Amino acid sequence: MKPLRVLIVDDEQELVSALVERLDLRGIDAEGADNGAEGLEKIKGRDFDVVLLDLKMPGMDGLEVIRRMHLDQPDLKIILLTGHCDADNTEKGKRAGAYDCLVKPVNIDTLLQLLNQAAGR
């Protein structure tokens, strides 16, 4: 089976690089992007299974990124990974098309489980 391909979009670069490396160590093909625009650029013509997306970022916020990513790839699974998973944000996220919402910091095993579930594995 091909390794799971995950894109992490978050403006905290150190968090992204640590998470990318942790997922890589678990056999996941992970990549990072520092903002929504870079995330949109990275998914073009690429087959990521899941996108992990922060909600509050400079420029485009997470909800706008979901809308734009789904214009390009309507079936792309996007999980919000944020400190703001309250009922309001979760509802807004799901309405925008997010698969689920996880609160940071997330347990790596919980994250893996949700990534696999979102990717249908």
Partner 1 sequence: MTKEDSRLLFERGLQFLGRQTASQSHEVTNVLNIINEMAGLMGDLLYSAGQGRPLDPDRLTQLTTKIAAQVKRGNQIVRAINQFGHSADKPLAVFDVQAVLERITFIAQRPASLHETLLETDFPEQTVALENSPLGFQQAVFTAFEIALAAATDKRRITIGYRLVSEGLLLTVHSDDPLIDHEDVAEKAKFLRLLVATLGGQVITLLDDDAPHRIELLFPKQTGEG
Q: Minimal distance in Å, beta carbon 47 to partner 1?
A: 26
Q: Which of residues 47-76 bind partner 1 (CB under 8 A)?
A: 56-59
Q: How far apart are CA 18 and CA 32, in angstroms?
A: 10
Q: Does 85 bind partner 1 (CB under 8 A)?
A: no
Is residue 104 close enough to count as binding partner 1 by CB under 8 A? yes
Number of residues that bind partner 1 (CB under 8 A): 16
Q: How far apart are CA 35 and CA 26, in angstroms?
A: 24
* CB burial of residue 22 (10 Å; 0-12, 13-18, 19+): middle
Which region, judged by CB under 8 A, interacts with partner 1, from 14-22, 42-50, 88-96, 112-120? 14-22
